[in-house]
């Protein structure tokens, strides 16, 4: 598959791929950060980024002092003119993600935007920001602003304005509802978590970049930190060299799970879930609320082998090229998926969101597909559900933006096995506002929670009997300027060894039919069932 990485790489005859000359700037920046930490009484972030390049290998730790002297003699810009794009023919960004556990990184993430959009791969952790409770978005926005205000941020080659590809960048997600009771299932995934990776690979035009992030305290030893960082770079360079070799072949994906090797169990029996839908319809008709989204989960248990994120992401990438792919690993758990829904994107003062609500299956023939599409566009139930989402999003943006514009009518968003109604909404952000502030206004939208928000959330807490965790909540990235993109974590699963928990939901309104809503969740499970290698002929009656 062609992506932003393969389309921006050049060619080179160099035999040893490496990075740009970190040795010329890393140690001086670390020493400057320690002095600033002493003055300010707080740890200082050092973030250095630049193009992946060929040339001399990353220097060993024994040469660190020599490199500092060379940098002092030659000046900051020395050596950057010789840099060329890193030649890793056929290299796949997913290989960066796969290297994480092999290099000892228990935290890692993968993010891919639709088509040939931006790809982010983070390995390790320089710092993590956590927040609990209903104020989590503004707490994290404040903590991030405080950290970046004093940060030492530099790009190699110097003198080039920093873009979102080179600025320090946090990646993470949020729980759907901080007031919902939590279970052990989501251990390590708090109400709000944003991680600054130790190493960030960004695959985007005009060239792929690598960013190193280090947090330096007042009592830090710059030489020791630099030595450790460069040793990690050497290990990373060696692993990347091996992975990009024509002779290298990634581990084969686990064989598809057959019905005899896979146990499938709904967390709530289908009949019980459909009864919840019927009760919700009754409450809506009595005027308790206009819409509520009810989710359910299915647990898979493999008899042999483990569920692995890399082959699952490969399958999702092949089948859902117009979706946002994400994976966030902590310790022994990985939350991953391919969602069609972008919650919000903020870039240079402009904000865009989408209403994605109302669903129908794809047809087995072009004629059947058009029939389903026509029914979706004419469905009173789906149009009502969609209209509620558009109305709420516009109201939310009025607290944030000026010059709000909305598509006049919804259009179809077609994915591999499902199609949705979609309406785009845009606005202009005032200076200094962050994408995290937009999350506070927008989440949860009626597409994943209901309307009115408070009444719908109360109904979910009282009736759903499911710890959603990060399912149906924002996941994505934010940079030091407040730019960023967050998607809604749909079509997703939480995997842990031999166990995987899949999530799906449906919007319930006055015209909803419990049997149809149950069938819709089964369509939505198919994306992750296929990604996890579950055979298509697996008995769907088991979930």
CA angle 244, 327, 362 (to 5 degrees): 105
CB atoms within 10 A of CB 282: 11
As a whole number of angstroms, the distance between CA 485 and CA 399 comes to 19
Residues 6+ apart with CB under 8 A from 212: 22, 26, 47, 48, 49, 198, 199, 229, 233
150 and 36 Cβ atoms separated by less than 8 Å: yes
Q: What is the DSSP letter of 262?
A: E
CA torsion through residues 113, 133, 401, 340, sign: positive
Catalytic residue among 116, 154, 291, 520: 291
CB atoms within 10 A of CB 14: 14
Q: Is 341 a catalytic residue?
A: yes
448 and 488 Cβ atoms separated by less than 8 Å: yes
As a whole number of angstroms, the distance between CA 128 and CA 418 comes to 36
As a whole number of angstroms, the distance between CA 97 and CA 396 comes to 36
As a whole number of angstroms, the distance between CA 61 and CA 65 comes to 8
Q: Is 524 a catalytic residue?
A: no
Tokens of 237: 């360079």
End-to-end, the C-alpha distance of the chain in Å comes to 32
Q: State the pairing for strand pair 402-406/450-451.
A: unpaired
As a whole number of angstroms, the distance between CA 334 and CA 301 comes to 15
127 and 140 Cβ atoms separated by less than 8 Å: no
Least Cα distance to 474 among 73, 137, 115, 38 occurs for 137
Catalytic residue among 116, 341, 437, 440: 341
Long-range contacts of 240-246 (CB under 8 A, 24+ apart): 240/17, 240/88, 240/91, 240/95, 240/96, 240/99, 241/16, 241/17, 243/91, 243/95, 243/98, 243/99, 244/17, 244/88, 244/89, 244/90, 244/91, 244/95, 246/89, 246/90
What residues does 339 pair with on adjacent strands? 324
Least Cα distance to 543 among 362, 275, 359, 299 occurs for 299
As a whole number of angstroms, the distance between CA 132 and CA 134 comes to 7
Three-state DSSP state, 131: strand
As a whole number of angstroms, the distance between CA 93 and CA 201 comes to 8
Tokens of 207: 């060239």
Residues with catalytic roles: 291, 341
């Amino acid at each position: 598959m062609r992506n932003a990485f393969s389309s921006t790489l050049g060619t080179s005859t160099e035999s040893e791929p490496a990075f740009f000359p970190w040795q010329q700037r890393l140690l001086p920046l670390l020493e400057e950060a320690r002095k600033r930490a002493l003055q300010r009484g707080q740890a200082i972030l050092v973030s250095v980024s630049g193009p992946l390049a060929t040339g001399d290998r990353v220097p060993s730790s024994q040469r660190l002092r020599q490199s500092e002297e060379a940098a002092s003699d030659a000046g900051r810009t020395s050596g950057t003119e010789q840099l060329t794009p890193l030649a890793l023919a056929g290299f796949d960004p997913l290989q960066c993600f796969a290297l994480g556990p092999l290099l000892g990184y228990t935290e890692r993430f993968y993010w891919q935007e639709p088509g040939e959009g931006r790809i982010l791969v983070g390995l390790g952790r320089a710092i993590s920001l956590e927040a609990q409770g209903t104020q989590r978005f503004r707490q994290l926005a404040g903590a991030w602003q405080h950290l970046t205000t004093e940060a030492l941020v530099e790009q190699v080659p110097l003198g080039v304005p920093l873009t979102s590809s080179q600025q320090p960048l946090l990646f993470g997600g949020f729980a759907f509802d901080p007031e919902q009771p939590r279970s052990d299932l989501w251990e390590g995934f708090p109400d709000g978590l944003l991680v600054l990776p130790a190493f960030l690979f960004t695959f985007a035009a005009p060239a792929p970049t690598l960013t190193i992030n280090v947090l330096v305290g007042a009592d830090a030893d710059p030489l020791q930190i630099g030595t450790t960082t460069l040793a990690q770079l050497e290990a990373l360079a060696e692993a990347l060299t091996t992975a990009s070799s024509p002779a290298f072949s990634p581990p084969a994906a686990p064989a598809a799970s057959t019905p005899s090797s896979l146990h499938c169990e709904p967390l709530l029996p289908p009949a019980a879930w459909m009864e919840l839908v019927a009760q919700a319809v009754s409450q809506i008709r009595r005027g308790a609320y206009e819409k509520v989204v009810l989710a359910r989960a299915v647990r898979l248990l493999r008899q042999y082998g483990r569920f692995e994120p890399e082959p699952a992401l490969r399958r999702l990438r092949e089948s859902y090229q117009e979706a946002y792919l994400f994976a966030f690993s902590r310790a022994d758990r990985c939350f991953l998926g391919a969602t069609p829904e972008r919650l919000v994107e903020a870039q240079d003062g402009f904000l865009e969101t989408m209403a994605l609500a109302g669903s129908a299956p794809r047809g087995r023939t072009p004629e059947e597909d058009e029939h389903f599409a026509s029914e979706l566009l004419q469905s009173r139930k789906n149009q009502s559900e969609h209209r509620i989402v558009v109305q709420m999003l516009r109201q939310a943006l009025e607290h944030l933006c000026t010059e709000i514009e909305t598509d006049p009518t919804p259009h179809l968003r077609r994915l591999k096995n499902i199609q949705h109604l979609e309406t785009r909404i845009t606005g202009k952000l005032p200076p200094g506002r962050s994408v995290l502030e937009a999350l506070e206004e927008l989440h949860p939208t009626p597409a994943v929670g209901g309307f009115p928000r408070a009444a719908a959330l109360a109904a979910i807490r009282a009736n759903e009997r499911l710890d959603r965790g990060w399912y149906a909540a924002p996941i994505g990235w934010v940079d030091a300027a407040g730019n960023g993109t967050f998607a809604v974590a749909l079509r997703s699963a939480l995997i842990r060894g031999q166990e995987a928990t899949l999530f799906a939901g449906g919007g319930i309104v006055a015209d909803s039919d419990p049997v149809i809503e149950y069938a819709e969740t089964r369509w939505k499970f198919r994306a992750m069932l296929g990604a996890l290698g579950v055979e298509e002929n697996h008995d769907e009656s088991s979930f």
